[in-house]
Amino acid sequence: MDDLLSEFLTETNENLAVLDVELVKLEQNPNDSELLSNIFRLVHTVKGTCGFLGLPRLESVAHAGENVLGKVRDGELDVTAEAVTLILACLDRIRTIMGDLEATGTEPQGDDSELIRNLNAFADGGRAAAPAAAPPVAAPAAAPAAKNSTASIYEQVGGMGTIDAVVEVMFGRIMGDLRVKSVFEGESIDHIQGYTREYLAKICGGPDSTAPHPLAGRAMSDAQFDALCGHMQAALNALEVPQHIAAMVMGMIFAEREAATGTPAAVAATVEEEAAPVAAAPKPAKAAPAKKEAVDGEAKESAVANQSIRVNVELLENLMTMVSELVLTRNQVLQILRKHKDSEFAAPLQRLNHVTSELQEGVMKTRMQPIGNAWAKLPRIIRDLSHELKKKIDLVMIGQDTELDRQVLEMIKDPLTHMVRNSADHAIELPEERRRAGKPETGKITLNAYHEGGHIIIEVADDGKGLPLDKIKAKIIQNGLATESELEGMSDQQIQQFIFKAGFSTAAKVTSVSGRGVGMDVVRTNIEKIGGTIELRSQEGKGTRFSIKIPLTLAIVSALVVECAGERFAIPQISVVELVRASPTGELKVERINDTPVLRLRNKLLPLVSLREKLKLEPESSRTSEDTFIVVTQVGTYQFGIMVDRVFDTEEIVVKPVAPILRHIEVFSGNTILGDGSVIMILDPNGIAAASGQISMGDADAAEKQVLRSRAHSDEAVPLLLFRAGEGAPKAVPLALVARLEEIDRKSIEHSNDRLVVQYRGQLMPLVPLDQYQAASQDQNGQQPVLVFSDREHSMGLMVDEIVDIVEARLNVDLATETPGRIGSAIIAGQATDIIDTGYFLSQAFADWFGSRRADAVGDQSKRVLMVDDSAFFRNLLTPQLSAAGFSVTAVDSGDKALALAEAGEEFDLIISDIEMPGMDGFAFCEAIKKSGRWQNTPIIALSSHASPKELARGRTVGFDDYVAKYDREGLVHTLNEALSEVRGAA
């Protein structure tokens, strides 16, 4: 049996067992979406694998089952007993077919049409088709018949898929047959297999090829040729190629042999005879393999049995632990030996040393496997895919020998397959398209594995079309994962990250390959389960690169032992780039920028981390030695130096996990026992970099922002920047409006055109004092704190006296004010605080703030905007801002008042409405407007601090044209302009 097939059987049987249990669980908890997606994924896997192995019957059954599950997952169907029964019936059928498959090596014949029809009917209507319905047996029967008459032999055989499988089976048999095996000696069997495939395809009338004849230049006896033909015949039978087609194929092979050698056609007769009893039996499945086994003899069977034994992983784990202990003990003994020169133990201990090393290596090998094992299936998959999709794809694999733990390997196998499949299906374009884009016709998928910084990095890269941002955006909005205005503020990279969300797939149609949204979220979950990370970089038109980083959990690693403040630590050698010694008198010395240590190393500034301070061992000032050793460490593409007091030797250490109570300390990746028996901690360079705040993954950033955002939404508490300026109460401004906080040297402040300006980032930035008299009282030295407000091309600085704090507070403007530049007063952090009207200062700095935008988007006359919001604060905050942006704003505090304006005959170009309002809420207000009346066609935009997908959906149903988050000034102005220009375009 094909290795692939037997692997499939084991895997699928395991999956089926899980499925049975999970389905029953699902019936009890129909709302458990995690359970459901797991079930869906398992069935999807079964289906997918069947497709690749050329098991059409299994595939079609699984596909029908998956269909039903897909509908259930999408919420179109409910989890009913009937649904579960049907799915279970589907699983039972799969199991029956698998049973036969296991026994005979071929898919048994049988009719699943009724089951499939039931499943499909259920998927369509939520009910199984009545069993009474006459099965349309005639149709499928007629189809192949019609095909037979017209199609070429190539098509009748079943195309490349079948030929490939035939060759696979055939060579499986040939390799077990000592009589003919020798014929192919001296050549890679993969090549021969490839030639045979092309040859078979050619003689059947399939695509022509230039591959050499598989038997070219190979001497063989007639008996050997006959044996080969026997294997071919058996393979054809095994794959259920119809008898008469098989006979035709064989006939052509004989004809060719005859022409080449002049051997009489009598041979054909004997083979015919051999085939005859098979043909006579209506169900050849049982008979043929039985015969096959008899012919192949015991040699093959015993060979398989000897190849491997199954060992419990736990046993290996124990073995590994014991060996680790042995290694440590050996190290200890060797350490002792070094003190006693000329000991008579020296020789035997040396031997013990060697044996231990070898034992350690051997045991490690039992767990470690080259990553190539996980890739073994991929070339075949890519090959089949490229045929199915009519694409040309090259698969390049680099670093197959990179070894990693068996368990880890198992975990990443499926994700990798998914990703490569995705690349082939979605990313690589058709040859035609590629040519037009100026790329070589053949697409390239590159797999690359290597060790880096104590991790294994696996890259999956393609030179396809890259991630289509527009489609992703549309999908994000469609699925309610984010709003348009939120997307507006995101970088391309952040948007790309959405493909890792559950239920996300941009493939337009569901193919047998991918496109059900099972892909990337599962990939990510699996990788994160083993403590790995996945990163994505994509450029539209150029290609996509995934980078998977997996930690080496269980391993003996080489580590550098260092000392800091009298404590010793180990740093994995693999992340150490170089060692540098710095001294105050020497060429290299540690310099400080505002207390941050740095090192000038080969014309570059290397950021330094003081281990002493990072680990809170003692203050850096208390160090005694003059010299500092710097361990230059690489994490990803980022380099930094770790400052330590001394560097010892490198040592082989066994990484042991730290106790649970210490696991939250991110700078340690484990601990170990050194040769002298002392326990030391292993530093994790990644953790140190992260703890120093020096690494920010695009993704982590986004997550953090998400948290901030949701925090801002809860309870309407917003982060506020508190500062002092001029006399009186402290001032506050919503932090979201502030672009940066800067300190500017007062000497650099210049006067220009009666205004204060400063050169800032290559431009002149106007500075506006909060109070007029404040500017006069400045002394001319020292630092001036400035709040920078920034638009795309303009920046403006608000001069303040002191930045006090950032607090989160609810904003309730208690006292409105007439003072320009103030919205009012509120109680913040228990103190009366002035809320600053940023809009006022913005328009002070630039008369034309927003001007350019107004010109190109809105037109010259100002647009009338109606704002409905119950919160006085927001009315006061937004009105001046919108006015500054060129809108004429009317603000009311309730939906009723707004409707009264409508009655009164007021006209507006646009309405902005809050969602949460007492009395008539935003939804009701919008419905009322859209139902009838004069404002029916006025665009209306929702303004809210809560943005659950559900609410977004509801907003769209009642008629909101768009949605903007509160505090998002940029987004609001942008959305307003967009909505207005749409109206104009439509008019």
CB of 677 or CB of 728, closer to other proteins: 677
Binding mask 238-257 for other proteins (x = CB under 8 A): --------------------
The nearest distance, CB 351 to other proteins, in angstroms, is: 21
| Window 546-585: contact mask with other proteins (x via CB under 8 A) | ---------------------x------------------
Within residues 911-940, the interface with other proteins by CB under 8 A covers none
CB 405 within 8 A of CB 553: yes
Window of 110-118, 325-333, 426-434, 912-920 that interacts with other proteins by CB under 8 A: 325-333
Minimum CB distance to other proteins smaller for 331 or for 496: 331
Name residues contacting other proteins, limited to 334-393 (CB under 8 A): none
Q: Applying CB under 8 A, which of residues 417, 671, 833, 913 lies at the interface with other proteins?
A: 671
Of 324 and 825, the one with the shorter C-beta distance to other proteins is 324
Q: Tell me if 228 sits within 8 A of 166, measured CB to CB.
A: no
R_g over Cα of the chain: 36
- Check residue 678 for interaction with other proteins (CB under 8 A): yes
Edge-to-edge strands, sheet with 646-654: 646-654, 556-564, 567-572, 679-683, 668-673
Q: 152 or 335, CB closer to other proteins?
A: 335
Q: How far apart are CA 736 and CA 972, in angstroms?
A: 13
Q: Which of 14, 222, 317, 325 binds other proteins (CB under 8 A)?
A: 325
Of 247 and 681, the one with the shorter C-beta distance to other proteins is: 681
User: 777, exposed or middle or buried, with CB in 10 Å at 0-12, 13-18, 19+?
Assistant: exposed
Closest contact distance (angstroms) between CB of 325 and other proteins is 4
- Strands of the sheet containing 940-944, edge to edge, are 887-892, 863-868, 910-914, 940-944, 962-965
166: exposed, middle or buried (C-beta count within 10 Å: 0-12, 13-18, 19+)?
A: buried
**Which of 615/845 has CB closer to other proteins?**
615
In the complex, minimum distance from the CB of residue 407 to other proteins, in angstroms, rounded to a whole number: 18
**Span from 592-600, 675-683, 854-862, 934-942 in contact with other proteins (CB under 8 A):** 675-683
Fill in the per-residue mask, 606 to 645: x = in contact with other proteins (CB under 8 A), - = not in contact: ---------xxx----------------------------
Strands (E), 800-928: 802-810, 815-816, 822-828, 831-836, 863-868, 887-892, 910-914
- Tell whether residue 693 is a contact of other proteins (CB under 8 A): no
Taking the least distance from each CB to other proteins, the nearer of 555 and 749 is 555
Name the residue nearer to other proteins (CB basis): 222 or 666: 666
Nearest-approach distance from CB 358 to other proteins, in angstroms: 20
What CA–CA distance (Å, rounded) separates 508 from 515? 7
Two tokens, residue 610: 């003081």
Least distance in angstroms from the C-beta of 317 to other proteins: 13
C-beta of 37 vs 331, nearer to other proteins? 331
Single out the residue of 251, 194, 257 nearest to residue 221, CA to CA. Answer: 257
- Measured CA distances, 323 to 108, 316, 317, 350, 677 (Å): 49, 10, 10, 17, 16
Instruction: Give whichever of 680 and 902 is closer to other proteins, judged by the CB atom.
Output: 680
The answer to whether residue 660 forms part of the interface with other proteins (CB under 8 A) is: yes
Find the helix packing angle between 222-238 and 284-296, rounded to 10°: 140
The H-or-E segment that residue 168 falls in is helix 159-175
Site for other proteins (CB under 8 A): which residue of 137, 665, 827, 832?
665
Closest approach, Cβ 676 to other proteins, in A, equals: 10
Residue 605 contacts other proteins per CB under 8 A: no
The residue among 682 and 845 lying less far from other proteins, judged by its C-beta, is 682
Phi then psi dihedrals of residue 526, to 5 deg: -60, -40
Decide: is 667 part of the binding site for other proteins (CB under 8 A).
Answer: yes
d(CA 414, CA 420): 10
As a whole number of angstroms, the distance between CA 556 and CA 650 comes to 13
Q: Which stretch binds other proteins (CB under 8 A): 468-476, 644-652, 677-685, 830-838?
A: 677-685
Q: Single out the residue of 501, 656, 746, 946 in contact with other proteins (rule: CB under 8 A).
A: 656
Task: Compute the Cα dihedral for 190, 195, 201, 204 and give only its sign.
Answer: negative
Pairing type for strands 750-752 and 590-593 reads unpaired
Compute the least distance from the CB of residue 328 to other proteins, in Å: 6
Task: Report strand pairing: 455-462 vs 887-892.
Answer: unpaired
Least distance in angstroms from the C-beta of 614 to other proteins: 9
Which of 679, 697, 708, 815 is in the footprint of other proteins by CB under 8 A? 679
Of 164-172, 276-284, 674-682, 946-954, the segment contacting other proteins by CB under 8 A is 674-682
| Residue among 170, 482, 632, 673 that touches other proteins (CB under 8 A) | 673
How many residues in the shown chain lie near other proteins by CB under 8 A?
24
Give dist(CA 983, CA 987) in Å, integer: 6
Alpha carbon separation from 148 to 164, 243, 623 (Å, rounded): 21, 13, 88
Q: Which stretch binds other proteins (CB under 8 A): 115-123, 321-329, 358-366, 849-857?
A: 321-329
Report yes or no: 42 and 92 within 8 Å, Cβ to Cβ: no
Alpha helix (H) residue ranges in 596-651 = 611-614
Among 60, 96, 329, 894, contact with other proteins (rule: CB under 8 A):
329
Span near other proteins by CB under 8 A; candidates 199-207, 259-267, 672-680, 821-829: 672-680
Q: What are phi and psi of 466, to 5 degrees?
A: 80, 175
Task: Count the neighbouring beta carbons within 10 Å of the beta carbon of residue 435.
Answer: 12
Annotate 743-812 with three-state secondary structure: EEEHHHCEEECCEEEEEECCEEEEEEECCHHHHHCCCCCCEEEEEEEECCCCEEEEECCEEEEEEEEECC
> In this complex, which beta carbon is closest to other proteins, that of residue 192 or of residue 615?
615
Q: Are 450 and 399 in contact (CB under 8 A)?
A: yes
**Considering beta carbons, is residue 398 or 662 the nearer one to other proteins?**
662
- Report helix, strand or coil for 949: helix
Q: How far apart are CA 47 and CA 688, in angstroms?
A: 44
To the nearest whole angstrom, how small is the minimum distance from the Cβ of residue 562 to other proteins? 13
What DSSP line would sit under 111-130, residue for residue? --HHHHHHHHHHHHHSSPPP
Cβ nearer to other proteins, comparing 312 with 861: 312
Q: Site residues for other proteins, window 47-106 (CB under 8 A)?
A: none
Pick the stretch among 81-89, 337-345, 469-477, 659-667 that binds other proteins (CB under 8 A): 659-667
Buried b (16+ CB within 10 A) or exposed e, 284-302: bbeebbebbeeebeeebee
Q: How far is the CB of 620 from other proteins (least distance, A)?
A: 14
Which of 24, 662, 832, 855 binds other proteins (CB under 8 A)? It is 662
Candidate residues 664, 751, 792, 950; the one interacting with other proteins per rule CB under 8 A: 664
Which range binds other proteins by CB under 8 A, 554-562, 679-687, 748-756, 855-863? 679-687
Q: Which residues bind other proteins (CB under 8 A)?
A: 325, 328-329, 567, 615-617, 656, 659-662, 664-665, 667-668, 671-673, 677-681
